[in-house]
Amino acid sequence: MKKVTRPELDEYFLKVAAVVAERSTCRRHHIGAVAVRDKHILSTGYNGAAAGLKDCLELGCLRDERSIPSGERHEICRGIHAEQNVIIQAALYGVNLEKSTIYCTHTPCILCAKMLVNARIARYVSFGRYSDDEFIGLFEEAAIEVDIKKRPSSRISYLD
C-alpha cells in the first residue's frame, strides 16, 4: 500500500497562497494571500490592478518604466497588494478577519502591515521576504505573531 502523507496546516495554507499568487497581474512579483481562521479559508487576494481596469500585463509596469526600486513609492503602481485584496474581499462579503491568520507568499510592506493591524489579525505566516522589514516593529507592538517558514514544495501529491 502506498504511504500517504499530509502537509501540516501552515504548509498547506502557504501552498494555497502560492496558487492564489498565480492570478497576479504584476510583472515584478506574484504575491498571494489567504486569510484563515479555525482551518477555514475566509478570503483570498493577489496583487494586481483594480477590478475591471487594465493591468500591467496589458499596459506595462509604471514602476519599471520609471526605475522605481521595490519597496519605494507605493503610490506609483497600478496594483493593489495581495494583503489589501484579502482585506477588501473579506469586507465585500461581510467576513470578519479578527483573530485570523494571514498566509502570504511574502512579508508585508508597512502600508499593508498597518491595514492588517487594523483588521485585528492574530498571526502572519510567510515563506518569502519583501524588500523591507518595517512591519516587524509594528507587528510586535500589536502582538501579531509572525512565522517565517521554509518555502513549501510546489509538488502536489494525491492518490491517482
Instruction: State the catalytic residues.
Output: 83
**Rounded Cα gap, residues 157 and 128, in angstroms:** 22
Cα angle for residues 117, 110, 26 (degrees, 5° grid): 110
**Rounded Cα gap, residues 155 and 6, in angstroms:** 12
**Rounded Cα gap, residues 33 and 83, in angstroms:** 6
